[in-house]
Amino acid sequence: MIHRQMADRTFTPDEANSALDQVRPLAERMVELRARLGELEDEQREVVRIVAGNGSGEGVGDARTPEFTKLARELQDVVDELTSIGIQLKDADTGLLDFPAVRDGEDVLLCWSVGEPAVEWWHGLEDGYAGRQRIDF
């Protein structure tokens, strides 16, 4: 996936919060999908370990179940929908998203994560989550 530093679209804090009606269910589904895919990956690693332990190596190549393939496709669709809105995905496991914005003439990112009630934080392009500050614009 290619991510530009700043998207073509920018959001005001009000626009980012309004977008949450559409974004929140997508982000929540993304987190659920990542968790289930992680479980399936763990199960597959165990199967590979057991099969490889029998010395034959048979079955090791059958790494992806139909469920994994289906969920991975759905996850990609969710990510594509989020990015088509103009949002930057920072962490699919936690549902951490950034909305490109402009503050005092500078490009910044409005930061939101699944579980937060609203888009209330921003940070500079290089600051990341650790540099989050309350929205004051």
**pLDDT at residue 42 in the model:** 86
Answer for the pair 100, 107: CB distance below 8 angstroms, yes or no: yes
- Report residue 4's pLDDT band, with 50, 70 and 90 as the boundaries: very low
Tokens of 83: 């990015």
Q: Span 61-81, mean pLDDT?
A: 87
User: Which comes out higher in pLDDT, residue 91 or 42?
Assistant: 91
**With pLDDT > 70 as the criterion, what percentage of the chain qualifies?**
86
Contacts of 9-13 with C-beta under 8 Å, sequence gap 24+, read 9/85, 9/86, 9/100, 10/86, 10/100, 10/101, 10/102, 10/107, 11/86, 11/99, 11/100, 11/101, 11/110, 12/101, 13/101, 13/110, 13/119, 13/122, 13/135, 13/137
Quickly count: other Cβ atoms within 10 Å of residue 40's Cβ.
17
**pLDDT at residue 61 in the model:** 53
The tens digit of pLDDT for each residue in 87-127 reads: 999 999 999 999 999 999 999 999 999 999 999 999 999 99
Tokens of 57: 């190596």
- Report residue 3's pLDDT band, with 50, 70 and 90 as the boundaries: very low
Least confident of 33-47, 83-97, 121-135: 33-47
| Pairwise CA distance, residues 29 & 92, whole Å | 10
Give the residue extent of every domain in the chain: 13-134
**pLDDT at residue 1 in the model:** 36
What does 103-134 look like in DSSP terms, one character per residue?
ETTEEEEEEEETT-SS--EEEETTT-GGG-EE
Q: Span 24-48, mean pLDDT?
A: 91
Beta-bridged to residue 88, according to DSSP, are: 98
